[in-house]
């Protein structure tokens, strides 16, 4: 039985793509969302979102720049930034 090369290529691509997502509701009701993905060229694409309890946007940043950090370090960096912004809000 011959393996299907398309399936092999799809699995290989899935294994090399890395991404993480973090969602959290802070004690004041604000919500944060952080996403990071390593693109095919090795660069890091990130998103930081901070929202009021009603879902309205406090801040969305599609191009944060965590210089010289790996995926996990960039996620920690971005989560800290998002929490800092969200925790400064006086809401519940």
The full set of domain ranges for the chain reads 19-87
Tell me which H or E stretch contains 89. Answer: none
Which residues are within 8 A (CB) of 67 and not within 5 positions of it... i.e. 6 or more apart?
Answer: none
pLDDT computed for residue 64 by the predictor: 87
Q: What is the pLDDT along the chain (92 residues), one digit of tens a residue?
A: 555 444 444 444 344 468 999 999 999 999 999 999 998 888 899 999 999 999 999 999 998 888 889 999 999 999 999 999 999 998 75
8, burial (CB in 10 Å: exposed 0-12, middle 13-18, buried 19+): exposed
């Amino acid at each position: 039985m011959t393996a299907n090369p398309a399936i092999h290529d799809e699995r290989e691509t899935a294994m090399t793509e890395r991404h993480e997502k973090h969602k959290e509701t802070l004690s004041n009701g604000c919500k944060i969302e952080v996403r990071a993905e390593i693109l095919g060229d090795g660069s890091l694409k990130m998103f930081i979102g901070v929202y009021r309890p009603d879902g309205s946007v406090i801040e969305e940043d599609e191009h944060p720049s965590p210089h010289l950090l790996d995926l996990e370090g960039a996620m920690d960096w971005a989560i800290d930034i998002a929490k800092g912004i969200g925790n400064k809000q006086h809401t519940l």
